[in-house]
Amino acid sequence: MSTLAGKVAVISGGATGIGLAIAQRFAAEGAHVYIFSRRRALLDQAVERIGRNVTAIQADATNLDDLDRIAETVRKEQGVVDIVVSNAALVEQAPIDTLTPEHFDRTFNLNARGPVFLVQKLLPLMTGGGSIILVSSAMHVMGIPGHTTYAATKAALRSYARTWAAEFKDRGIRVNLLSPGVTDTPMLDSQVSTPEEREALVNMYLSMVPIGRLGRPEEVANGALFLASDQSSYMTGADLMYDGGVGQV
């Protein structure tokens, strides 16, 4: 039997990178996945790659009306949500002396505010046995220059997981954090402008990774599957560091 047979999952930022890999893995394990992202073309490509058990919704994770529309769509079509994966995020490096209010607001609105209201909107559709997975980053336990806002938003997710694990305990809903290390995704490419800059950035990160290579989205999806399934039935409020050791040494 497939691990997630009959389950319904909603995944923000599910069109590329880690979110797409999680959607592919969940669908392959029998879940029906709802993915959403702002860019229609990427969503269409993701649906082709996932191939089955998938519904794509063009939506902005920072827009409460869009989140209401997602919740209403799932309610009408499925009636229930078993798994919520809050994955949508952005990273823009900025040293403190050049950091702007616009940069701060943009990062916090998506990375820290968005997950709160995604969970709020979908919570009424969840029943006992549900799993909420907040995709954080190993950077929430690290200190890397230029990441004032990004690291802080990922640390906020760690706090949410603790608070919600306690708040939802009587509902039978588990909440856990998934903290990837440096993973080879379009988010990594978004931080650079040239191949040379990418090579320098990758080498900088690799110097800190004990395993000595970048992570693959498919590997992080393994961690998400564990947290979504009954294999992690005795875990809540925890932080699964799927990070190649970068946040451990």
- Whole-number mean pLDDT of the chain? 96
Q: Pairing between strand 174-180 and 126-135? A: parallel
Task: Please give the average per-residue pLDDT across 198-206, as a whole number.
Answer: 89
Residue 121 neighbours by CB under 8 Å, 6+ apart: 64, 67, 68, 70, 71
| Percent with pLDDT over 90 in the chain | 91
pLDDT band at 189 (very low <50, low <70, confident <90, very high): confident
pLDDT of residue 44: 97
pLDDT band for 71, please (50, 70, 90 cuts): very high
Q: Does the predicted model carry a pTM greater than 0.75?
A: yes
* DSSP H or E stretch at residue 17: helix 17-28
pLDDT attached to residue 192: 85
In whole angstroms, how far apart are CA 229 and each of 11, 78, 103? 15, 19, 36
DSSP of 193-218: SSHHHHHHHHHHHHTT-TT-S-B-HH
Hunting for tokens 């998934």 — which residue is that?
178
- Residues annotated as catalytic (active site), given as ranges: 150
Q: For 109-165, what is each residue's pLDDT tens digit?
A: 999 999 999 999 999 999 999 999 999 999 999 999 999 999 999 999 999 999 999
Q: What percent of the chain stands above pLDDT 70?
A: 100
Structure tokens, 74 = 């799932």
Cβ within 8 Å of residue 119, ≥6 positions away: 84, 86, 132, 160, 164
Q: Per-residue confidence at 1, pLDDT binned at 50, 70, 90? A: low
In the chain, the domains with their CATH numbers are 8-242 (3.40.50.720)
Asked whether residue 39 carries a pLDDT value surpassing 90, the answer given is yes
Six-digit token string for 230? 């009954």
Distant-in-sequence, close-in-space partners of 28: CB < 8 Å, separation ≥ 6: 2
